[in-house]
Amino acid sequence: MKLRIGFELDYDFPQPTPVILMLNVHFSRVSDLAEPDHIRIQPSVRVSAYRDSFGNWCTRLLAPQGLMRIAADAIISDSGLPESHDLNAGQIPVEQLPEESLVFLLASRFCDSDRLLDLAWQLFGHTRPGAARVQAICDFVNQRIAFNYNDASVTRTATDAYREGRGVCRDYAHLAIAFCRAMNIPARYCTCYLGDAGTPPPYPPGDFAASLEAYLEGGWQTFDPRNNVPRIGRVLIARGRDAADVAIATTFGPNTLKGFKVWTDEVVERTT
């Protein structure tokens, strides 16, 4: 299948403001793009690009005073199949983990696993180590947190999400990641495009989505505690320790986000 993916972000900057964007499709999916997903900026400004320490593609610019639109629109190929993971995959002992996975065992700003250590072992110590344990964590988080866009918070930690029992997809991911790390399972935060392919209407407004990847036997596997069912057409944008590492836009000055639109739509191909 083919998906049309893209976004339009409208900002109002009261003064010239440095901005870092993390909005390009992840390098692991670039070969699936019909053409490069170039970011378009109005008014046009000079941009530069670099890769961060996690390999994510970042765009850097100086926004002028006034209104600015940041947008992209691209076509990407996808298998069209529901995602899956191997629930028989076992857990790898810490001493046998590859060095590059160890950073994803550590507590981070939003995934404060050190504060959830005792609770995690109380809740999940009886579960089978490995993918089955990660799924048990996702099942718990899916039921623990009530989803509501109005409950979004840029400062809520995993511990806060557990205590408050509310939030958005990033809070589901943060809490599940923190529990995984507390159980000695490397877990990293992912931001993605995720549309509604294969799900019944009505459909909510488009948005970016958060999920997680856990390192198990066989490598990294994707889990989604927010939806907690196999989904079609997830397109990875960036990975990091938590949402602080993969913010779609980091602005170094005051601004107002006046418009926000994201789409991930299946392209219906006509046959003649």
Angle between helices 169-182 and 117-124 (to 10 degrees): 80
- Contact status, residue 134 vs residue 88, Cβ threshold 8 Å: no
Average pLDDT score, the chain:
95
List the strands of the sheet with 249-251, edge to edge: 47-51, 57-63, 17-21, 249-251
272 falls in which pLDDT band (50, 70, 90)? low
The pTM is what? 0.95
Q: CB-based contacts of 5: which residues, under 8 Å, 6+ apart?
A: 25, 37, 73, 74, 75, 76, 193, 235, 263, 264
**What is the radius of gyration, based on Cα positions, of the chain?**
19
The model's confidence at residue 249, banded by pLDDT at 50, 70 and 90, is very high
Write down the H helix ranges in the chain: 117-124, 131-144, 158-164, 169-182
* pLDDT average, residue stretch 225-244: 96
Q: Does 271 score more than 80 pLDDT? A: no
d(C-alpha 263, C-alpha 5), whole Å: 5
CA distance 188 to 180: 10
* Alpha-carbon span 111 to 118, nearest angstrom: 15
Across the range 36-49, mean pLDDT stands at 95
Residue 264: pLDDT band by 50, 70, 90 thresholds? very high
Mean pLDDT of 44-61: 96
Tell me, what DSSP letter sits at residue 96?
A: G
Q: How many beta carbons lie within 10 A of that of residue 119, not counting itself?
A: 14
Question: How far is the C-alpha of 45 from the C-alpha of 11, rounded, in Å?
Answer: 14
Residue from 17, 18, 39, 54 nearest 244 by CA: 54
pLDDT at 46 over 90: yes
What would the pLDDT profile of 76-86 be if each residue is shown by its tens digit? 999 999 998 89
Greater confidence, 269 or 33?
Answer: 33
Q: Are strands 146-147 and 166-167 parallel, antiparallel or unpaired?
A: parallel
Whole-number Å distance between alpha carbons of 23 and 6: 9
Q: Which domains does the chain have, with CATH numbers?
A: 2-79+248-267 (2.60.40.2250), 94-245 (3.10.620.30)
Q: Give the tens place of pLDDT for each residue, 96-105.
A: 999 999 999 9
Residue 217: pLDDT above 70?
A: yes
- CB 205 within 8 Å of CB 195: no
pLDDT tens column, 107-157:
999 999 999 999 999 999 999 999 999 999 999 999 999 999 889 999 999
3-class SS of residue 261: strand
Tell me what the mean pLDDT of segment 92-96 comes to: 98
- Lowest-pLDDT range, 66-80, 158-172, 180-194, 196-210? 196-210
DSSP summary character for residue 94: G
Q: Which residues contact 226 (CB under 8 A, 6 or more apart)?
A: 142, 147, 169, 172, 173, 209, 210, 211
pLDDT of residue 53 exceeding 80, the answer is yes
